[in-house]
Amino acid sequence: ADKFITIGEIMLRLTPPNYEKIRMASGFEASYGGSEANIALALANLGVDSTFFSVVPNNSLGKSAIRMLRSNDVHCTPVILSTPQQTPTHRLGSYYLETGYGIRASKVIYDRKNSAISEFDFKTVDLNELLEGFTWLHLSGITPALSPGCGELILESLKTAKEKGITVSFDGNFRSKLWTWEQARDFCTQCLPYVDVLLGIEPYHLWKDESDHSKGDVKDGVPLQPSYEQQDEIFRAFAAGYPNLKCIARHVRYAHSGSENSLKAFLWYENHTFESRMFTFNILDRVGGGDAFASGLIYAMMHGYKPMDMVNFAVASSAIKHTIRGDANITDDVESIRNLMNMNYDIKR
Ligand code: KDG
């Protein structure tokens, strides 16, 4: 059976209740988020042997984050509870989420500078030892944006994983509040030769520069909402440069109005492009939708699904996450995702 590990930051998430704006909030609901942690959580809930590696301050905030992961069956043995000597600012990163409603968009304010993971000196960590025994490593383009030390950790982990024959998935996950588009593109390009399963890199191979993205009205469709033929061409051209890529996935969002969204995805697998079904749903909480797509794809690949089932399972997993409050797809019955993937909405009783 597969043994999964991921490396990244876990943060405290603070959300005003009931779709309130931050400006009006008299209280905040506490939960936890972080792209890689979301994936570790989702996979553990689906029954995968799932491990998370990070650094958190050795105080009540850091320990609570780890306790939450453990209570969801995520193994946290390698997590470093750092001392104030190791991480002088001694912080757990956090972020505020103002949940959008209808036509009002969500808003994220990060408060994560100098968090423990970004201050930690990873030269003390033996990556060969850390990754021993794992079959799958997942990384994202968020962690390297935190500090030069984190960037080195990600690149070195990729190299070590490849030496050890571990399958590597990587989600580009561009975060414009953490670094520039050029920095992100250059870093992700360095990572690509070590990756087997690639997600979330559409910014880097579709946009000529970051301003292309800000112009990109999702309703303007092409190529942000490509046809099968267009996406096939994009995959083909991209994959030609990276023969190591076994799989490339891209999910595409179609906003109808406010909270009603449709989602579908394309999958490049064994030199062929597969297109998923389109799922339409109302959004309760959209944060982590991409992570749920990634965890769904990883689960489906680990379990030997056929390519059409892989891509449909990944989109169904993301669609379900949009109906769950919090960052992660906390779904502990695989059947419910499989039913949605097959568009079977019957209540089982
Ligand atoms: O993908 C969801 C993440 O964006 C969220 O969990 C917070 O990791 C996070 C980030 O850096 O934005």
User: Are 291 and 39 a contacting pair, CB within 8 Å?
Assistant: yes
Write out pLDDT tens, residues 207-216. 777 776 665 4
Nearest protein CA to atom 8 of ligand 1, as residue: 34
Question: CA quadruple 63, 64, 69, 71: dihedral positive or negative?
Answer: positive
Residue 305 lies in a domain: yes
- Please report whether residue 133 resides in a domain: no
What's the CA-to-centroid distance between 342 and ligand 1, angstroms? 29
Residue 87 falls within a domain, yes or no? Answer: no
What CATH number corresponds to the domain at position 265? 3.40.1190.20
Helices (H) and strands (E) in the chain, counts: 12, 15
Q: Is the peptide bond before 223 cis (omega within 30 degrees of 0)?
A: yes
Tens digits of residue pLDDT in 223-266 = 677 889 989 998 998 999 999 999 999 999 887 777 788 999 99
In a domain, 297, yes or no: yes
165 in any annotated domain: no
Cross-strand bridge partners of residue 137: 5, 168
Classify residue 59 by its DSSP letter. S
pLDDT tens digits, 231-243: 999 899 899 999 9
Span 136-162, pLDDT tens digits: 999 999 999 999 999 999 999 999 999
- For residue 145 the two structure tokens come to 């944006």
The response to whether residue 175 sits with its C-beta less than 6 Å from ligand 1 reads yes
pLDDT at 259: 78
| Residue 334 forms part of a structural domain | yes
- Specify which residues 79 forms β-bridges with: none
Structural element, H or E, at residue 265: strand 260-269
Residues 47-65: what's their mean pLDDT?
98
d(CA 296, CA 60): 32
> Contact at 8 Å (CB) between 37 and 79?
no
Provide the ipTM.
Answer: 0.94
Q: Whose CA is nearest to atom 7 of ligand 1?
A: 34
Q: Does residue 103 sit within a domain?
A: no
Classify residue 273: in a domain, yes or no.
Answer: yes
* Domain encompassing residue 274: 246-349
User: For residues 250 and 182, what is the distance between their CA atoms, to the nearest angstrom?
Assistant: 21
In contact, 158 and 131? CB cutoff 8 Å: no
Query: How many distinct structural domains can be found in the chain?
Result: 1
Asked if 319 and 311 count as a contact pair (C-beta separation under 8 A), the reply is no
